[in-house]
Structure 1
């Protein structure tokens, strides 16, 4: 495959100078992310009500979802009633997380909550091959209270448990979730990047409508889902 959309071709020394100039900005961005993380660790927190969610084995209190860990990351997965295939963005985002045991070394757990009824949610989990533990907030205001109301919205929230009391410590949604993904960081390393129209790319670079290159939920199910689920 050949294309006219090619970066300039230079000698190795010139390439190294350009890379070194970019590296200055990359290192500055790393230091800024370190500073942001430090500020995040100093955020205040807010006490949460004693919510009851639905798990695979029945009702469960929010404090119990932590297991033995004091820290909890919750991804609120969008859910649309009656739809066979749920949000492709949420489905693709969460499909990345197949090995989360490392969080145990940091006294934390990562789970999914969704507004869908628990039986439907668990069936969808199997269909798309998701590995995380799922809970339903269909009979609770929890989802709406943390930025993911019924029929709309996705979010990431972080909680801290002290005994049976749960506190909300951090929240993000929209593009704020990108830093938690490995797909976009990898794609952004490529010469053509995400190839979406909104991106600042050189003239002639391949560009497509936003989201058009994203895999559908059906695609993800075909790649990762349980046969017959």
Structure 2
């Protein structure tokens, strides 16, 4: 670390003025996100077929995955057949969600669906210490129909149930997933940010390849899996 990799040092008055200038932009961004969320709530929806997926207790209708809730968030986890370690981005993202009970107050549930065969998917869940509920769409067209086909990327879909009828209300992928993650939000308030080469950072700031600092699936397993250290 060199002097060139440090922010300039100023007096408290100058620092506060710069912070106040930044706050104006931060507040504007917050209001814009509120407007986007309002538009999302006003989206129409599309009726879904009566899919059957595989769960830990056997076949389950999509409508029944909601349990007694009306809203359902589904993260479609990437799956590579025959691989011991699955997508480290998906593994890291889903490892964040260990306390989802608060969603019950909002009449909602959040689960993982993957193209992997159920027994392999559940074995992987245990290996990496994942705490979410997993389902398999290996024997159903559900994944392909919600933009997460076999061999495809990750996705996030949201559904609304009215009786036994399920509707798709929203979908995103790529960087659209970031808004659900606290990891990137925490990185973005750090002086050096995500430290990735695409970011607009001052000269001398530490930067590396995109995703180069993300934890690998084996790292996640070491931290949270059954063999994780308790020290």
TM-score of the superposed pair, with normalisation by structure 2 = 0.97
**CA distance 1:138–1:3, shift in 2 (3 Å):** farther
Partner of residue 126, structure 2: 126
CA deviation string 1:16-67 (max 9, x = no partner): 0000000000001111111111111100000000000000010000000000
1:59 aligns with 59
Aligned 8 A contact 2:91 2:217 in 1: yes
Aligned to 1:222: 222
Distance 2:193 2:38 in 1: 29
- Give me the whole-angstrom Cα distance separating, in 2, the residues matched to 1:74 and 1:195: 30
Cα distance in 2 for partners of 1:163, 1:226 equals 39
Give the Cα separation in 2 of the matches to 1:54 and 1:18: 54
Q: Which residue of 1 aligns with 2:11?
A: 11
Where does residue 31 of structure 1 map in the other structure?
31
Q: What is the match of residue 93 of structure 1?
A: 93
What is the RMSD computed on CA atoms of the aligned residues?
1.0
CA–CA separation in structure 1 for the residues paired with 2:204 and 2:227: 42
User: How far did 1:3 drift?
Assistant: 4.8
Give how far 1:2 is off: 5.5
Asked whether the 8 Å contact 2:4–2:203 carries over to 1, the reply is no
SS of the residue aligned with 2:69?
A: coil
* Cα distance in 2 between the residues matched to 1:227 and 1:134: 21
CA deviation vs aligned residue, 1:90-144 (integer Å, no higher than 9, x gap) = 0000000000000000000000000000000001001111111000000001111
SS in 1 for 2:110: strand
| Secondary structure of the structure 1 residue equivalent to 2:111 | strand
**1:192: which partner in 2?**
192
Q: TM-score, normalised by structure 1?
A: 0.98
Return the offset for 1:151. Answer: 1.3
Partner of 2:177: 177
Query: Which residue in the other structure is 1:152 paired with?
Result: 152
Structure 1: where are the runs of 5+ without partners? Answer: none
Q: Which runs of 4+ in 1 moved over 4 A?
A: none
Q: How does 1:70-149 map to 2 (within 5 A)?
A: 70-149=70-149
- Secondary structure of 1:4's counterpart equals helix
Q: 2: distance between equivalents of 1:211 and 1:70?
A: 35
Q: d(CA) in 2 for partners of 1:227 and 1:163?
A: 42
